[in-house]
Chains A and B, each alone.
Chain A
């Protein structure tokens, strides 16, 4: 009756400080491992053909450094008690907002008609990645702090969290970074639901959001040539209205990659589509290369790992010792879920092409670190689970 004894112990101490959630940790580690492998396979051709001096391993080398650092971050964060982060939530959000604004200062970088990066000389990153996590913490804080919550669930919430978040969203529109706008919007909405704000607060927020979208679209329409019109083109291309084949090129090549994988795939490293057919094969479309090389079997394996990760994440939220922890775990998990669903929908042509990366898979340092930092927090929450055996 070891099991029963443990439960009794829980009741007495009220907080278990048990082990971290094993399945969550396992799925994260496996996904990061598979992701790094896939980056190696998918990046070799592009890496090789980048410049005369480049080798096939350039991208891989960088990503291995990112991964190692990321795993360290994961473990360090998972050991720090998340409750100490509670008062830091506001600071985090303020810093994120500041960085968002800094994009438009001279340290910001413009790439492919989008100003999304900050160059800090040692490191180049997208503040929007930090913003996603910051919004989760910020929302969790204002909706769990008993004093603020009283106001925040009501119409005061518009000023307490909607306006600050909207400010960042506007900056995202300005970059432009529409996919991130969608993610931030969905995260905010999910946090409001989970935090149980009043229905009228919700209604007003939605009305404001719809109004803002309409206003922006009108603004874009009267200012032809603005960089935002690329998103309009992408949607048009998806619905088949656009004559420009270049817009559908990426999606078509992705379908060819996935389709030619079949049930068992061509074998690891054997993708042909990665040979400059599919643009950015190690970035947003890395999953297409995985589908081509590992087939439906590989696709199902990775999807099942993501499902395990996300369901365990929600379980951590449900069993969190306090509301802040529950909301943070919920928000971080939902962020992963949104990105997974949107990325897979895009690569398999269920949605128009928007630049949404696949967590743990797509190339890049900041996004991986922030994802792993988030998972570290969830793991820490799972450690303090009130009822780990359910």
Chain B
């Protein structure tokens, strides 16, 4: 028998003994019933608690939070936009936001008045105290923040919680508000983090970047709009737990959910190249009196990465609503509808993306490439420039006194002969020709990651005349970005890339989270055609219509274009454009310059106005990129051209500039203020003095005050240098050079180590050896 069973038996015996008071009269059955009933009820209660706390927990939690928490928003900073080298183009800086909580102001009023205002014996009603307290806050805040006192008073007296008083104020000012608050023991005024968009480079790349509105969201154009989602962070909150009366709880009452900053896009754009492009564009606008603005695109020829994209007129990103200088309106407000209308059709307009234009002769390269690719022609093929008569229409060469007669195809491009390209296009045939035009991407938007790209305007159902005219770039419109992209394909061996301007996204720790890969769309032409085109286009610059784009030491290929616009007949508005590629033998960059309506006496011309601008951009960009100059025979010949240094004494600066320019020299005036009037200032001294010959294109230093302290530089030892290298080195140091022939330096007129002033001439004795080979 187990002990349990034994116990049971014992118990039974026991109960039998005590039968009168137990067992029969109480407990037993009802005790069991009570327990069962109790346990059942407890089970129901437990189940109910589980349902409330677990199943419906979120619902009740939300409801509880809704009544317990009040919050102020911490705006998330936008991401930083970086150029390809990590230079900050758009940043969000810390600012402050000032809010008031009218309900706290109200409940704090009575105590405040009692403690800090009332004299012993004074009695104020609650309403009077509230009014005094609100008035005090409104007056001080309005004064600190330069706001309208009545408006602040309304906010302070409003119903509800957290009224915004001022956003995006400087943190210094925010600190002053905090100081005022603690000094005066004010309750209900809060100073929290805010962020403010700053563009450290001002107007640089304004059209590419775009700007943001008051809500910190991208507005109008650029990367700010295109990557708005990625740039926008997640707003944080300052949650305050409040009791049923709206007072903040004494402990644990403030919880922060920190704002998460947006992503940082890294552009392919290079701020330095952008600056080069913008300053060249602005100079061209001034030099050639360009009336309708212009655009520049600098692309990496190898993969169509945008290195610079400039458009003129431009605007200051830190003041996008500012009145443009050329606009005369005393009632300018900036964000009025008509003002915005003006801004968005002028300064905000990214002409490189938004303006379509007739490409004109720049398009002949495309036609020529198609002809070469289709085997219809070779660069050496003899062709004739006689007028082409098609269905009663006559297509003539631009040359006024007759045509170019018989010439090679390469020369025909160099001379930009229309009839030859028209004949070629007809020979290629409409369908084949158009399939290439599609292939080069002229029918599609390029899909670049910034907003505002226009669609091209192409013939719906082109006839053979349309085709003939199209071959030299007329009667259809494309965008500059399409043209530059197509030229990249011409230059890089025939691959059309999708132009890229955003390279990657980085998070706040600088870790790359997304890479926008370079996208090769298709092979449009062969490597061979590409190489042939480069040779042809290099000739255009070396000895053809594009000679103004020539850069000493760099092999530049390119094509001019002068195209009509809809207003050509009435106003003489032409578009002068040039697209350059350099170096021609291994293309690094493609540079497109488009000038809309250069109003100059000699007439608008891609060769005369756009080509020199492209030349300047190419020179500075390649120099910046560290692409070594390699002087060709042509360059060295040019180096031997000497200029006689004229006598500049008694001349004004303006006269001196003209004299030097005529001599093929450049004037440099150290310390001359930018706004100086050249016609009023006299030359005091010049280096070098008159009577010497120096290399053409060299710089003459002109002083307006003979006492100006001259900069001295140590003369290097040049023996053993190739003349071209010696020239580059001396140029960099600011010296001028004179040599009689080409070869290796064997002696120099000034001892190495001598200190000489800038502009001084150093004569070199050169022996002609075979060591300096063609570049």
- Tell me, in angstroms, the Cα distance from A306 to B43 when the chains sit together: 13
Which residues does chain B contribute within 8 Å of A195, judged by CB atoms? 25-26
Q: Choose among B38, B44, B45, B64 the residue that contacts A310 (Cβ–Cβ < 8 A).
A: B38
Q: Is B85 on the interface with A (CB-CB < 8 A)?
A: no
Given known A-B contacts A194-B31, A259-B59, A296 and B49 have beta carbons under 8 A apart = yes
Which residues does chain B contribute within 8 Å of A330, judged by CB atoms? 26-27, 31, 34
Q: Whole-angstrom distance from the CB of B36 to the nearest CB of chain A?
A: 11
- Tell me, in angstroms, the Cα distance from A330 to B33 when the chains sit together: 12
Q: Is B707 on the interface with A (CB-CB < 8 A)?
A: no
Which residues does chain B contribute within 8 Å of A196, judged by CB atoms? 25-26, 30
Q: Choose among A193, A277, A299, A387 the residue that contacts B244 (Cβ–Cβ < 8 A).
A: A277
- Tell me, in angstroms, the Cα distance from A310 to B41 when the chains sit together: 13
- Tell me, in angstroms, the Cα distance from A259 to B60 when the chains sit together: 5
Which residues does chain A contribute within 8 Å of B27, judged by CB atoms? 194, 317-318, 320, 326, 330
The reply to whether B45 and A258 form a contact with Cβ atoms under 8 Å apart is: no
Q: Is B706 on the interface with A (CB-CB < 8 A)?
A: no
Which residues does chain A contribute within 8 Å of B252, judged by CB atoms? 270
The reply to whether B48 and A295 form a contact with Cβ atoms under 8 Å apart is: no
Closest residue of A by beta carbon distance from B60:
A259
Contact with B along A270-291 (1 / 0, CB 8 A): 1011011100000000000001
Residues of A in contact, count (CB < 8 Å) = 60
Contact with A along B41-55 (1 / 0, CB 8 A): 110111011101110
| Residue picked from A144, A275, A311, most chain B C-beta under 10 Å | A275
Closest residue of A by beta carbon distance from B50:
A296
The reply to whether B3 and A3 form a contact with Cβ atoms under 8 Å apart is: yes
Contact with B along A292-332 (1 / 0, CB 8 A): 00011001100100110011001001101011001100100
Which residues does chain B contribute within 8 Å of A3, judged by CB atoms? 3
- Tell me, in angstroms, the Cα distance from A263 to B61 when the chains sit together: 12
- Tell me, in angstroms, the Cα distance from A45 to B250 when the chains sit together: 9
The reply to whether B21 and A323 form a contact with Cβ atoms under 8 Å apart is: yes
Binds A, one of B6-14, B486-494, B537-545: B6-14
Contact with B along A1-20 (1 / 0, CB 8 A): 00110010001000000000
Given known A-B contacts A255-B52, A275-B249, A194 and B30 have beta carbons under 8 A apart = yes
Closest residue of A by beta carbon distance from B63:
A256
Which residues does chain A contribute within 8 Å of B34, judged by CB atoms? 190, 194, 314, 330, 334, 337
- Tell me, in angstroms, the Cα distance from A226 to B529 when the chains sit together: 106
Q: Is A371 on the interface with B (CB-CB < 8 A)?
A: no
- Tell me, in angstroms, the Cα distance from A334 to B244 when the chains sit together: 38
| Residue picked from A194, A334, A345, most chain B C-beta under 10 Å | A194
Q: Is B658 on the interface with A (CB-CB < 8 A)?
A: no
The reply to whether B31 and A314 form a contact with Cβ atoms under 8 Å apart is: yes
| Residue picked from A320, A326, A334, A345, most chain B C-beta under 10 Å | A326
| Residue picked from B25, B30, B54, most chain A C-beta under 10 Å | B25
- Tell me, in angstroms, the Cα distance from A117 to B6 when the chains sit together: 54
Which residues does chain A contribute within 8 Å of B46, judged by CB atoms? 299-300, 303
Which residues does chain B contribute within 8 Å of A295, judged by CB atoms? 53
Given known A-B contacts A272-B249, A277-B68, A348 and B243 have beta carbons under 8 A apart = no
Given known A-B contacts A194-B30, A255-B52, A275-B243, A11 and B10 have beta carbons under 8 A apart = yes
- Tell me, in angstroms, the Cα distance from A272 to B244 when the chains sit together: 10
The reply to whether B38 and A337 form a contact with Cβ atoms under 8 Å apart is: yes
Given known A-B contacts A256-B67, A258-B60, A260-B64, A277 and B54 have beta carbons under 8 A apart = no
Q: Whole-angstrom distance from the CB of A308 to the nearest CB of chain B?
A: 11
Which residues does chain B contribute within 8 Å of A272, judged by CB atoms? 64, 68, 241, 249
- Tell me, in angstroms, the Cα distance from A390 to B8 when the chains sit together: 9
Which residues does chain B contribute within 8 Å of A261, judged by CB atoms? 53, 57
Given known A-B contacts A4-B3, A196-B26, A311-B35, A350 and B60 have beta carbons under 8 A apart = no
Which residues does chain B contribute within 8 Å of A258, judged by CB atoms? 49, 52-53, 60
Q: Size band of the B side of the interface? A: 35 or more
- Tell me, in angstroms, the Cα distance from A390 to B12 when the chains sit together: 12
Q: Is B681 on the interface with A (CB-CB < 8 A)?
A: no
Given known A-B contacts A295-B53, A300-B46, A257 and B64 have beta carbons under 8 A apart = yes
- Tell me, in angstroms, the Cα distance from A285 to B377 when the chains sit together: 97
Given known A-B contacts A195-B25, A277-B67, A326-B22, A259 and B244 have beta carbons under 8 A apart = no
Q: Whole-angstrom distance from the CB of B120 to the nearest CB of chain A?
A: 18
- Tell me, in angstroms, the Cα distance from A203 to B437 when the chains sit together: 105
The reply to whether B45 and A341 form a contact with Cβ atoms under 8 Å apart is: yes
Which residues does chain A contribute within 8 Å of B64, judged by CB atoms? 256-257, 259-260, 272-273
| Residue picked from B6, B57, B65, most chain A C-beta under 10 Å | B57
Closest residue of A by beta carbon distance from B49:
A299
Q: Is A386 on the interface with B (CB-CB < 8 A)?
A: yes
Q: Is B245 on the interface with A (CB-CB < 8 A)?
A: yes
Q: Whole-angstrom distance from the CB of B20 to the nearest CB of chain A?
A: 8
Q: Is A237 on the interface with B (CB-CB < 8 A)?
A: no
Closest residue of B by beta carbon distance from A324:
B21
Q: Whole-angstrom distance from the CB of B103 to the nearest CB of chain A?
A: 15
Which residues does chain B contribute within 8 Å of A256, judged by CB atoms? 60, 63-64, 67
Which residues does chain B contribute within 8 Å of A263, judged by CB atoms? 53-54, 57
Which residues does chain B contribute within 8 Å of A291, judged by CB atoms? 49, 52-53
Q: Is B39 on the interface with A (CB-CB < 8 A)?
A: yes
Contact with A along B77-112 (1 / 0, CB 8 A): 000000000000000000000000000000000000
Which residues does chain B contribute within 8 Å of A7, judged by CB atoms? 7, 10
| Residue picked from A45, A257, A272, A326, most chain B C-beta under 10 Å | A272
Q: Is B56 on the interface with A (CB-CB < 8 A)?
A: yes
- Tell me, in angstroms, the Cα distance from A183 to B71 when the chains sit together: 46
- Tell me, in angstroms, the Cα distance from A334 to B35 when the chains sit together: 10
Closest residue of B by beta carbon distance from A292:
B64
Q: Is A154 on the interface with B (CB-CB < 8 A)?
A: no
Which residues does chain A contribute within 8 Å of B30, judged by CB atoms? 193-194, 196
Which residues does chain B contribute within 8 Å of A143, judged by CB atoms? 26
Q: Whole-angstrom distance from the CB of A388 to the nearest CB of chain B?
A: 12
Q: Choose among B11, B44, B245 the residue that contacts A387 (Cβ–Cβ < 8 A).
A: B11
- Tell me, in angstroms, the Cα distance from A259 to B64 when the chains sit together: 9
Given known A-B contacts A323-B25, A345-B45, A390-B11, A260 and B60 have beta carbons under 8 A apart = yes
Q: Whole-angstrom distance from the CB of B51 to the nearest CB of chain A?
A: 9
- Tell me, in angstroms, the Cα distance from A11 to B50 when the chains sit together: 47
The reply to whether A144 and B21 form a contact with Cβ atoms under 8 Å apart is: yes
The reply to whether A303 and B244 form a contact with Cβ atoms under 8 Å apart is: no
- Tell me, in angstroms, the Cα distance from A317 to B56 when the chains sit together: 40
Contact with B along A135-155 (1 / 0, CB 8 A): 000000001100001000000
8 Å CB interface, B407-453 against A? none
Q: Whole-angstrom distance from the CB of A64 to the nearest CB of chain B?
A: 22
Closest residue of B by beta carbon distance from A264:
B53
Given known A-B contacts A259-B57, A259-B64, A387-B11, A344 and B243 have beta carbons under 8 A apart = no
Q: Choose among A190, A327, A348 the residue that contacts B52 (Cβ–Cβ < 8 A).
A: A348
The reply to whether A255 and B60 form a contact with Cβ atoms under 8 Å apart is: yes
Q: Choose among A307, A326, A337, A348 the residue that contacts B26 (Cβ–Cβ < 8 A).
A: A326
29 A-B pairs within 8 Å (CB atoms) are namely A4-B6, A7-B7, A144-B21, A193-B30, A259-B56, A259-B57, A260-B60, A261-B57, A262-B53, A272-B241, A273-B68, A275-B249, A296-B53, A303-B46, A310-B38, A318-B27, A318-B31, A323-B22, A323-B26, A326-B27, A330-B31, A337-B38, A341-B42, A344-B45, A345-B41, A348-B49, A348-B52, A350-B48, A390-B7
A149-B25, A299-B46 known; 4 other A-B pairs, CB under 8 Å? A143-B26, A256-B63, A323-B25, A350-B45
User: Which residues of A does B touch, CB under 8 Å?
Assistant: 3-4, 7, 11, 45, 48, 143-144, 149, 190, 193-196, 255-263, 270, 272-273, 275-277, 291, 295-296, 299-300, 303, 306-307, 310-311, 314, 317-318, 320, 322-323, 326-327, 330, 334, 337, 340-341, 344-345, 348, 350, 386-387, 389-390
5 closest Cβ pairs, A-B complex: A259-B60, A275-B243, A276-B244, A260-B64, A256-B64
User: Which residues of B does A touch, CB under 8 Å?
Assistant: 3, 6-7, 10-11, 14, 18, 21-22, 25-28, 30-31, 34-35, 38-39, 41-42, 44-46, 48-50, 52-54, 56-57, 59-61, 63-65, 67-68, 241-245, 249-250, 252
